[in-house]
Amino acid sequence: MSTKHSDDLVHTAEEILTRTSQLAKQLSQRSITPPSLSVGANSDLWTTHDGEIEALRSATLALTQRLDNLLEGPHGVIHEYVSTNWEYGALYTLLEFDILEKIPLDGSPVPAAQLAEQAGLPSEKLLRICRLVATTGILQEPEEGLFAHTAISEILVKDPGFRSWVGFQLFETRVASANLADSLKRPNPYWTGQAAFEYAWGMPMYTWHAKNPEKGKRFAQAMQSVSQGKVTHLPLEYRVNTDEDILGLDPGNGMIIDWLTSRQNAGRDEKGRLIEVSGKNGSFSQQLATIFPNLNLEVQDTSAELLRQGEQKIDTKLTERVRFRQRDLFTQRSAQELEEGERSFTSTVFLLRGVLWNLPDGEAIKLLQSFIPAMQSHDRPLLLISDLVSPKWGTFEPHVERAFRRRDVTLMTMHNVKQRTATEWDELIRSASPQFKVTYSEKYSSHSCRGLWQVELGDHSG
């Protein structure tokens, strides 16, 4: 046996021990609870994504992945990689039949036969399904045929939004991804081609969800869950409550809130206004109105039904500051339009939050250009754009980059959309007008990269 290869195995194991010991020391110094998978366990290790702790955590994960691969070998790695499909099907079955809700959250085990009787399933089948899920560590089988929660399964009971996201991933995206290869066996370019989801289901995803309202409701809950990003610099007095710093899978909303917080007048001027374009039912604008008690907001959307839903659900305390308006998306916005209404405003910010990602370049440019007449008005409104970004190659180590490349393929598969890089976004925005002055920032969570573009209108001479 090669000494070099033997040394690689031992060196990797030694590095894991070194990094883990360093990580444990950091946790102790910062009084962070060590991680545990017991029911009720929680640790800031899982939600700390900056500084030395994250660096050590990431390095340890990379090393353990390498050790796994060294121990498994080429055949074992591929076999394990593709075989997890059966674990996904088993977990989805538990979610669909509410099996996890039937297991006590106090950690006590329940016989599979009892769970099967409550769910109306064959006990011998459910036993094998639960047992497969338990081998992944999501459930535990402390005694033969008895199943109990872990901290992993517990979150699927306590966090319905995250559960919805998991369900969406285990059903819609699995079916679509299985059809990706077949959808590419004919000419199929971005934007004008056909998404693998449409190839599989015979219609675009949003149309399919409209025709399958239960799945559509689940998808809406999933997207709301992942959009709850962490607010990194929000002062205590501007929080809805002291638990405002909820870390989601997408940092986009948190970046917008941070941007408003950092601007002296944006969130505190009683004559300041934010117009959320294509804001659907206005749930995010209502969140902003709660966080910034002096900010005025207008929700614009083409759908009268979504706006009606927003008006029905809005807190009565916010009705004077949050307005709803049906409007065409692409029609130019004039300075006169900004002056309509009983109130006058000294500053205006237009917000495009996740609006451009699924628009072809031509339509995106047309939409950006529609703001130019309004941005030429005396108070020089700003345009704030928050959208998905494909990180530059080599930004992360491969074990981290995997999540971001997964998102690239997700948009391709589900919508036939190209997730643009920061460079492609910059070229797109600047091509809409030579007068656009663009300031860019980006932020990563463990699963998503978001860009934030502040667009101002520069010198008229261009």
Write the DSSP string, 331-345: SPPPHHHHT-SS---
Q: List Cα–Cα distances, 308 to 281, 326, 329, 407, in angstroms.
A: 7, 10, 17, 32
Residue 50 is predicted with a pLDDT of 65
Whole-number percent of the chain with pLDDT over 70: 91
Whole-number Cα distances in Å, 411 to 174, 354, 408, 416, 430: 13, 13, 6, 6, 24
Q: Give yes or no for a contact between 267 and 235, defined as CB atoms under 8 angstroms apart.
A: no
Helix 304-313 and helix 283-291: axis angle, to 10°? 40
Confidence of residue 308 (pLDDT cuts 50, 70, 90): very high
In degrees and rounded to multiples of 5, residue 254 shows phi and psi of: -60, -35
Residues with Cβ within 8 Å of 70's Cβ and at least 6 positions away in sequence, in order, are 8, 9, 12
Q: How far apart are CA 83 and CA 65, in angstroms?
A: 17
Position 223 scores a pLDDT of 86
Give me the residue label for tokens 């948190």.
Answer: 254
Residue 63 has pLDDT above 50, yes or no: yes
pLDDT at 62: 93
> In whole numbers, what is the pLDDT of the chain averaged over residues?
90
Tell which wins on pLDDT, 460 or 364.
364
Averaged pLDDT, 89-115:
98
Interior/surface letters 296-312, b for 16+ CB within 10 angstroms, e for the rest: bbbbbbeeeebbebbee
**Above 90 in pLDDT, residue 5?**
no
- Range in 91-100, 232-241, 269-278 with the lowest mean pLDDT: 232-241
Structure confidence at residue 235 as a pLDDT band (50, 70, 90): very low
Instruction: Mark residue 312 as left, alpha or beta (left: phi above 0; alpha: psi -120 to 50; beta: remaining).
Output: alpha
Task: Look at residue 268 in the predicted model and tell me its pLDDT.
Answer: 64
| Tokens 């870390």, residue located | 247
In the predicted structure, residue 244 carries a pLDDT above the cut 90: no
Please give the Cα distance from 193 to 58 (Å, whole number): 38
pLDDT over threshold 50, residue 246: no
State residue 4's pLDDT score.
57
The answer to which of 9-23, 181-195, 227-241, 322-336 has the lowest mean pLDDT is 227-241
pLDDT of residue 264: 61
Q: How far is CA 383 from the centre of its chain?
A: 23
Q: Are strands 382-388 and 347-353 parallel, antiparallel or unpaired?
A: parallel
Least confident of 2-6, 160-164, 239-243, 437-441: 239-243
Burial class (CB in 10 A: 0-12, 13-18, 19+), 274: buried
The predicted pLDDT at position 228 comes to: 63
Rounded Cα distance between 340 and 338, Å, is 6
The amino acid present at 210, given as its one-letter code, is A
pTM: 0.84
For residue 6, the model assigns a pLDDT of 61
Please tell me the least confidently modeled range out of 12-26, 240-254, 420-434: 240-254
324, 299 in Cβ contact below 8 A? yes
Q: Tell me which of 4-8, 127-131, 236-240 is least confident.
A: 236-240
Give the C-alpha separation, 267 to 273, whole Å. Answer: 9
Longest CA–CA separation in the chain, Å: 83
pLDDT value at 197 more than 90: yes
What DSSP string runs through 369-387? HTTHHHHTSTT--EEEEEE
Whether the predicted pLDDT of 59 surpasses 60: yes
What residue has token string 């949003």? 206
**Which residues is 353 bridged to in the sheet?**
386
| d(C-alpha 287, C-alpha 353), whole Å | 14
Helices (H), 97-150: 112-119, 123-135
- pLDDT at residue 398 above 60? yes
> Looking at residues 202-229, what average pLDDT do you find?
90
pLDDT for 241: 31
Give the residue-averaged pLDDT of 272-284: 95
pLDDT, tens only, 109-167: 999 999 999 999 999 999 999 999 999 999 999 999 999 999 999 999 999 999 999 99
Phi, psi of 438 (to 5 degrees): -115, 130
Quote the pLDDT of residue 445. 77
